Amino acid sequence: MALTQGISSAFIQAAHALGEIDPEDAPEIARSIEDGLIALLPEMPRSRDTLRQVLHSGSPRILSALLEIQGADPYRKIQADPGEQVALHDLYEDSDVARLRILHEAGIRVDSQFNALRQVLLSRTPPALLEFVLIECGLTDTLFPDFTLQMIRRASGPTAPVLAQCLESLTPDMRRACWREVVKQIAILIQMKPLAAALLSGEDLTKLLPRPVVPGHFPCKLRPLLEMTTTAHGRMALRKREPDLADLLARPENAAFFGITSKDLRE
Amino acid sequence: MTDHNEALRNLGHALFCLPEDAPDQGRASFLASARALLRGIEDPGEALKSALASRNADLLDAVFKAWPETKWTRVHFQSGAAKIGTLAGEMRIDLLRLCRNAGLYINDNIHHLVASALRADNADALRFLREECGYTAPFWKPKDIASGLILCGPNAAPFLWEEFQGHLDTPHGQAMQSFLQFGATRAYLKEIAALLASGRDVTRYFRQDLDLLNPHVAALVQKTASNHGQLALKSLESDPIAVIGRPFEAEFYGISGKSFHQDYPPKAAQ
């Protein structure tokens, strides 16, 4: 017991020391502290505190070593228990995909703080984290279908291909739910970028429109485009005009989509 | 950016917390990192503070070597590092020796080591005091030789015996004046036994109390005044160091130290 307590205390202190080291500034020192921490891992208890300290150390190497030395089972259970789980906010905030990936590959939940993860994805849209969460982990329900419109509007350079890939690989039901959500929202406030993305969805948008809204509700420039989604030929023609969803999503909101800008719609 | 001071402080604490039987590689790695961090530290006081907090002799040595020209007594005073008395109380002779060799003045607080060394019966600490710090009478200096005598175990006994002889051979010395200071009738048996085993005439230390002692004990004391008596005492307890090194509750001259006052009450109480 005394051995474990002493080692736990030493581990905490050394993890703090590691936190003070800039690995680019002093790589050998960081490596040496990591070596020391890894040497202590077999003596550490299999508890939430150990996982917390390992995560606090900020080192993917130590996290891998922990799961290798002690096994992932105890930590899988800890992270599955809402009363016990260690918060992963810091990893989300820092887009620390390396450590999230290690947890995920060991079968440990990485979306235990679901709302925090969603908030980071929505507010900062870090491309690496987005790709990891949506594509690698397949945790599409963090954003879809509720926040499809916001994600399309916020998509830019590096996030666009990730979002495009994700939208194209959704299950048919989820896809339909996403585009229904987009169409519902743009029926209230028409925005060209999400509408253009919806036009490329391969769905018949007229069927997705909410009940009282009819295609006639939209400006006359858009009506032919909406009509085109009702037929396979029309949808192919739309694809021809905007063949790349990623390219479309990468454009700013005030750019032209299908030759129309949001400003044109207001005129 | 790396904060060398903070990192070193944390590593110092980590080294301090590591138990003796912790994996060696952990300790070695932390120590190597701490040494490497020293290169980025400008203030030797901060380094000394972390090294003393770690209680790690290798790190402390590295700190002293990293700033060889430093006036460590002043730096130590200003740094708020662990006190020398604390190290002495913990009997960290290795650290005290390094401090001393680096020029840090430790003698003002080193007397704390005596009590700890006696309690732990640690001969190394006593040897350090005498041979390296020049403490020729460590038992007498901090408090009272009688207290030291009562606590003394087998490892400390040779040192105390040597010092005790010195005090006995110093006529009118203060150490022996304070010996039996609470009156011979209340003294521990071990104190009396140490005097009996000394091979000297010790009747003078008892003065008028001799008449108040239990007759059996008084007879033993009076034996010290004659050669025949000394021989008789020697036949009962031949080795004075063994007498000094025995627990005070043990048996001396066939009398139990535990029940001495009940078994041999002073005359006044009879």
For the segment A110-165, what is each residue's pLDDT rounded down to a tens digit? 988 889 999 999 888 888 999 999 999 989 888 888 888 888 888 888 889 999 99
pLDDT tier at B115 (50, 70, 90 boundaries)? confident
Q: Is the pLDDT of residue A31 over 60?
A: yes
Complex prediction ipTM: 0.77
Burial level of B52, CB count in 10 A (0-12/13-18/19+)?
Answer: buried
A44-66 mean pLDDT: 93
Q: Which of A2, A3, A35 sits opposite B25 (nearest CB)?
A: A35
A6-11 mean pLDDT: 92
Which residues, 6 or more positions from B231, have their beta carbon under 8 angstroms from its beta carbon? none
Of A212 and A3, the structure prediction assigns the larger pLDDT to A212
Helix (H) or strand (E) holding B256: strand B255-256
Which residues, 6 or more positions from B177, have their beta carbon under 8 angstroms from its beta carbon? none
Interface of A with B (CB under 8 A): 2-3, 6-7, 9-11, 13-14, 16-18, 20-22, 25-26, 28-29, 32-33, 35-37, 39-40, 42-43
Chain A CB contacts of B9 under 8 Å are 17
Q: What are phi and psi of A88, to 5 degrees?
A: -110, 15
- Evaluated on CA atoms A44, A48, A51, A52, the torsion sign reads negative
C-alpha A244: how far from chain center: 21
- Residue B181 has a pLDDT of 62
Instruction: Using alpha carbons only, give the angle A15, B50, B4 rounded to the nearest 5 degrees.
Output: 60
- Residue A226 has a pLDDT of 84
- Cα separation, A219 vs B90, in Å, equals 86
Chain B CB contacts of A39 under 8 Å are 23, 25-26, 29
Q: What Å distances lie between residue A83 and A44, A77, A117, B151, B193, CA to CA?
A: 21, 11, 18, 54, 67
Q: Could you tell me if B146 and B111 are in contact, meaning their C-beta atoms sit under 8 angstroms apart?
A: no
pLDDT digits (tens, 9 = 90+) for B41-90: 999 999 999 999 999 999 999 999 999 999 999 999 999 899 999 999 99
Which residues, 6 or more positions from B17, have their beta carbon under 8 angstroms from its beta carbon? A6, A7, A9, A10, A13
CB contact under 8 A, A32 and B17: no
B217-226 mean pLDDT: 92
The interface residues of chain B toward chain A in range 36-95, judged by CB-CB distance below 8 A, are: 36-37, 40
Q: What Å distances lie between residue A113 and A88, A90, A151, CA to CA?
A: 7, 11, 20
- Residue B30 has a pLDDT of 96
Provide the number of CB pairs (under 8 Å) joining chain A to chain B: 98
Residue A253: CB atoms within 10 A of its CB come to: 16
- Residue A55 has a pLDDT of 92
Tokens of A76: 């899988």
Helix (H) or strand (E) holding A248: helix A245-250
Q: Is the pLDDT of residue B187 over 90?
A: no
Residues in chain A: 267
pLDDT digits (tens, 9 = 90+) for A180-234: 888 887 777 778 888 888 888 888 888 887 776 666 677 788 888 888 988 999 9
Ranges A161-175, B17-31, B55-69, B140-154: which has the least confidence: B140-154
- Residue B141 has a pLDDT of 65
pLDDT digits (tens, 9 = 90+) for A68-99: 999 999 999 999 998 999 999 999 999 999 99
Q: Is the pLDDT of residue B172 over 80?
A: no
